Structure 1
Amino acid sequence: MASTNLTKHSAFTPVDILRKEARQHVETGPVTVSYPKDRDVIVEHLGRALATEWVCVLRYLRHAYCITGVVAEPIKAHFLEHAREEQAHAHKLAERIVQLGAEPDLNPATLTQRAHAEYVPGNSTEDMIRENLIAERIAVEAYREFIQFLGDRDPTTRTMLEAILAQEEEHADDLRDLLT
């Protein structure tokens, strides 16, 4: 009896309509009729986040390879760990772009133009740490804005971004600790 009441509730699409709509446009995969109409805007922002992650991977790797000095090894380990985690973020973002029916843009010629963060080489250990911290702060703010933009309209993307945001905040915290 309770399930009958649920199916008649106005907030839920009747089962026969769900079944019919699921059979239409099967080629769109998880993108159903209830997906936000501004999917292209969501994909564009995912693309900017993807570019940002790759720029961060490259900057962290350069810093890991170029850092020198007495304290270089533990900081190098931080940079390499952060680079791996940023690459994992990029992987998730690219997969989500594909799920939403688009293609990830990995063109190296335009990555820095599309990214939120900059690729700054840094000349000293302190410069490298500071530039990575600045980039993490940019990422934190960009992800927060994106999450707020999504609201409840795309819970899958929002949940993924929230997990990435948490890790970006950890990176910023680690880097701040290295500066002090």
Structure 2
Amino acid sequence: MMHSDTHASALQLDEAALRQAATADLDEGAVTPAYGPHRDAIIALLNDALATELVCVLRYKRHYFTADGRESPAIAAEFLVHANEEAAHADLLAQRIVQLGGSPDFSPSTLLSRSHAQYDESSDLQDMVRANLVAERIAVEAYRQMIQLIGDKDPTTRRMLEGILADEEEHADELKDWLHR
């Protein structure tokens, strides 16, 4: 029975560390000292993801308004759904950046240079679908890498990114289906 007592004590919280984290730098809000040196790097990753989402919104919106052809109404409707979901992702990212004490970078002058995905001005419907599929696959890989890099350094950000990743994977699957019609 002593063996189980030893394990129970190993799973106790450090009360002194809790008090220290709670009372040090109150102006930091939810950001406790445990975020340490990783906070600025995480904010930079999130700002690049924000730029990517914003470029994706613009690309999807352009494709929504310019899609033409027999199947264009259904595909254009999907482009609009994706644009709105990408905008919601951008909002989540910006909110988390602020929670971490950073400043979300919405600067139009640097969006493309910071984005992992490209803007696209295709006029052919299948080229639009293909460009969006490529961008979604880039997003999937970028979020997968970010999740791996962040690991346990920031569980809240990691969970948010995992949710966004699931949406991006769904977008890629939907676009793949449209590509083969």
Q: Which residue of 2 aligns with 1:23?
A: 23
TM (norm. structure 2) is: 0.92
Q: Which residue of 1 aligns with 2:168?
A: 168
Question: Is structure 2 residue 133 aligned with structure 1 residue 99?
Answer: no
Q: 1:132 to 1:35 in 2, by over 3 A?
A: same
One-letter identity of the residue aligned with 1:88: A
| 1:97-125 alpha-carbon deviations (Å, 9 max, x no partner) | 00000110000111010000010111200
Query: Separation in 2 of the partners of 1:175 and 1:150?
Result: 28
Query: Separation in 2 of the partners of 1:8 and 1:177?
Result: 54
Q: Which residues of structure 1 form unaligned runs of 5+?
A: none
Q: 1:55 to 1:12 in 2, by over 3 A?
A: same
Moved over 6 A (4+): none
One-letter identity of the residue aligned with 2:177: D
Secondary structure at 2:169 match in 1: helix
Q: Which residue of 1 aligns with 2:13?
A: 12
Report 1:74-89 matches (<5 A): 74-89=74-89
TM (norm. structure 1) is: 0.92
Report 1:95-174 matches (<5 A): 95-174=95-174
The answer to whether the 8 A contact 2:133-2:172 is kept is yes
Query: Separation in 1 of the partners of 2:46 and 2:141?
Result: 14
Query: Separation in 2 of the partners of 1:165 and 1:18?
Result: 32
- Between the aligned residues of both structures, percent identity stands at 53
RMSD: 1.8
Query: Separation in 2 of the partners of 1:8 and 1:30?
Result: 27
Q: Larger helix proportion, structure 1 or 2?
A: 2
C-alpha deviation, 1:69, in angstroms:
1.4
The answer to whether the 8 A contact 1:54-1:87 is kept is yes
* Number of equivalences: 176
The answer to whether the 8 A contact 1:36-1:154 is kept is no
Q: Which residue of 1 aligns with 2:3?
A: none
